[in-house]
Amino acid sequence: MTMQLHSITLRAMRMKMKSPFTTSFGTEWDRHFILVEIRDKDGRSGWGESVAMKEPLYNEETVATNWHMMKDFLIPLLFKNTVEHPDQVSQLFSHIRRNNMAKAALEGAMWDLFAKQQELPLSRALGGQRTAIEVGISLGIQDSVEKLLDLVAKYVEEGYRRIKIKIKPGWDVAVVEAVRRQFPDILLMADANSAYTLADSDHLARLDQYNLMMIEQPLSHDDIIDHSKLQKKLQTPICLDESIHSLEDARKAVELGSCRIINIKVGRVGGLTESKRIQAYCLSQGIGVWCGGMLEAGVGRAHNVAVTTLPGFTLPGDTAASSRYWEQDIIEPEVTVDKGLIQVPSAPGIGYCPVRRIIDEYTLYTETFRP
Ligand SMILES: O=C(O)CCC(=O)C1=CC=C[C@@H](O)[C@@H]1C(=O)O
Ligand SMILES: [Mg+2]
């Protein structure tokens, strides 16, 4: 059955995070992003969220480039073509190079709309079986080791299944050692966000003594080759994030031995369909997979919950509770975590209801497009 579209609305959103989030490449506090609403002719709404930031620091996309790509290229394609299943959307967009976060936001809204039309939870429409997902938490670089230890203690107490800390030169071995000394048994990992080079191999090998689950993206954001050389020198598994934009990238990284774990971010790989393909491939290759976060608001968070129900998602991801980031999220109910678990919603679609009154409060500007 054709997914007959009535309109597509883009909203440029601005939400102040509860606290700044610092990584090796910058600090995010004042979150700008695009919210997508696709309405069908029966009045249902499918929702998507672009994770592109205001500045091109994580990848080359920004809120402005996403708006341009959606308005001038991707939305016209959705209006001009007949879509019967959201798996067709990534194919429809495939002749357009990259711009994966823009593609993923629209594709995600189409998946949510499709699931609602089928009266299925998005998790089921994707082929997920889990009714609850294990989650971890990602902690930014702090002003002091003491502050970081306090945060680790807080979230371990709250039951998060895994702690991810950020590292960079000058904030790495000593910090990991301090966390490990106070928390000898927790599942612990480190994310470098490309802060190192192969010249740092011996220094990074010093982390092997702390039983980390993985070191995420130690080398360049667009590298696969040097990560394969580094993995041969480390006992600790390398996890790739920024380097993996597609199933093809995942295949090359796995065949070269560049990583043993992959962080799937729906926005980075261009959508839920490509995420499904990568998790299925990794499952077949014995490569661990988890769902990364991009400081999403409730709609993006809901998509992450749904995709994490797929069988290949074998490790706790970064989908923490709404209250970790927002005074007031844009969905009801908010995403909550109890003893490190999120109960997967059984309502149709993303299962959480975007609240227009709250969305309007955070909307800077909006534009609606019709076929
Ligand atoms: O959403 C979350 O809580 C995870 C945030 C997180 O770790 C990241 C968000 C955005 C870019 C990066 O800094 C980092 C990551 O690389 O995973
Ligand atoms: Mg990362």
Which CATH number do you get for residue 34?
3.30.390.10
Quick one: average pLDDT of 319-340?
A: 98
| Spacing, Cα 189 to ligand 2 middle (Å) | 11
| Spacing, Cα 226 to ligand 1 middle (Å) | 22
- Ligand 1, atom 10: closest residue by C-alpha: 294
| Per-residue pLDDT reduced to its tens digit, 301-321 | 999 999 999 999 999 999 999
Domain span at residue 90 reads 5-120+354-369
End-to-end alpha carbon distance in the chain: 18
Q: What is the largest CA-CA distance in the chain?
A: 60
Report the residue among 21, 62, 244, 342 best suited for mutation to probe ligand 1: largest number of ligand atoms under 8 A from its CB: 21
Please indicate, yes or no, whether residues 43 and 75 belong to a single structural domain of this protein: yes
Quick one: average pLDDT of 346-357?
A: 98
Residue 241 near ligand 1, beta carbon < 6 Å: yes
* ipTM value greater than 0.90: yes
| Per-residue pLDDT reduced to its tens digit, 182-194 | 999 999 999 999 9
| Spacing, Cα 185 to ligand 2 middle (Å) | 23
Provide, rounded to the nearest whole percent, the portion of the chain with pLDDT above 90: 98
Please indicate, yes or no, whether residues 129 and 115 belong to a single structural domain of this protein: no
pLDDT over 90 at 266, yes or no: yes
151 in any annotated domain = yes
pLDDT at 284: 98
Distance, in Å, from the CA atom of 46 to the CA atom of 110, rounded to the nearest integer, reads 6
3-class state of residue 266 by DSSP:
helix
Active site residues per annotation? 166, 265
What's 90-155 look like in SS3? HHHCCCCCCCHHHHHHHHHHHHHHHHHHCCCEHHHHHCCCCCEEEECEEECCCCCHHHHHHHHHHH
What sign results for the dihedral spanned by CA atoms 269, 272, 273, 278? positive
285 in any annotated domain = yes
Distance, in Å, from the CA atom of 289 to the CA atom of 262, rounded to the nearest integer, reads 5
216 in a known ligand binding site: yes
3-class state of residue 317 by DSSP:
strand
| Predicted TM-score (pTM) of this structure | 0.97
Question: What six digits make up the tokens of 230?
Answer: 């580094």
Please indicate, yes or no, whether residues 116 and 48 belong to a single structural domain of this protein: yes
Are 226 and 194 contacting, i.e. CB atoms less than 8 angstroms apart?
no
Cα 17 versus chain centre, distance: 17
Please indicate, yes or no, whether residues 223 and 297 belong to a single structural domain of this protein: yes
311 in any annotated domain = yes
pLDDT at 2: 83
At position 78, the amino acid (one-letter code) is: L
Please indicate, yes or no, whether residues 62 and 171 belong to a single structural domain of this protein: no
**For residue 304, what are the CA distances in angstroms to 128, 208, 238, 297?**
12, 30, 22, 11
Please indicate, yes or no, whether residues 109 and 129 belong to a single structural domain of this protein: no
Distance, in Å, from the CA atom of 24 to the CA atom of 200, rounded to the nearest integer, reads 15
Quick one: average pLDDT of 325-337?
A: 98
Please tell me the total count of domains within the chain. Answer: 2
Give me the phi and psi of 187, to 5 degrees please. -75, 120
Question: What six digits make up the tokens of 228?
Answer: 């394969």
16 in any annotated domain = yes
pLDDT at 19: 94
pLDDT over 90 at 25, yes or no: no
Quick one: average pLDDT of 25-37?
A: 95
Please indicate, yes or no, whether residues 130 and 256 belong to a single structural domain of this protein: yes
252 in any annotated domain = yes
Which pLDDT band holds residue 50 (cuts at 50, 70, 90)? very high
pLDDT at 285: 98
pLDDT at 24: 82
Quick one: average pLDDT of 209-233?
A: 98
pLDDT over 90 at 23, yes or no: no
Please indicate, yes or no, whether residues 116 and 132 belong to a single structural domain of this protein: no
pLDDT over 90 at 207, yes or no: yes
Please indicate, yes or no, whether residues 66 and 180 belong to a single structural domain of this protein: no
Return the CATH number at 265: 3.20.20.120
Report which of 120, 130, 131 is spatially closest to residue 46, judged by C-alpha positions.
120
Residue 320 near ligand 1, beta carbon < 6 Å: yes
191 in a known ligand binding site: yes
pLDDT at 345: 98
Quick one: average pLDDT of 176-180?
A: 98
Please indicate, yes or no, whether residues 195 and 244 belong to a single structural domain of this protein: yes
Quick one: average pLDDT of 74-101?
A: 98
Vertex 293, ends 287 and 298: CA angle to 5°? 135
69 in any annotated domain = yes
Distance, in Å, from the CA atom of 202 to the CA atom of 47, rounded to the nearest integer, reads 46
pLDDT at 341: 98
> Ligand 2 being an ion, which residues bring their Cβ within 5 A of it?
191, 216, 241
103 in any annotated domain = yes
pLDDT over 90 at 1, yes or no: no
Please indicate, yes or no, whether residues 148 and 278 belong to a single structural domain of this protein: yes
| Spacing, Cα 137 to ligand 1 middle (Å) | 10
338 in a known ligand binding site: no
Please indicate, yes or no, whether residues 87 and 139 belong to a single structural domain of this protein: no
349 in any annotated domain = no
Distance, in Å, from the CA atom of 246 to the CA atom of 277, rounded to the nearest integer, reads 9
Which pLDDT band holds residue 369 (cuts at 50, 70, 90)? very high
pLDDT at 287: 98
Quick one: average pLDDT of 202-222?
A: 98
At position 188, the amino acid (one-letter code) is: L
Average pLDDT, the chain: 97
What sign results for the dihedral spanned by CA atoms 318, 324, 328, 331? positive
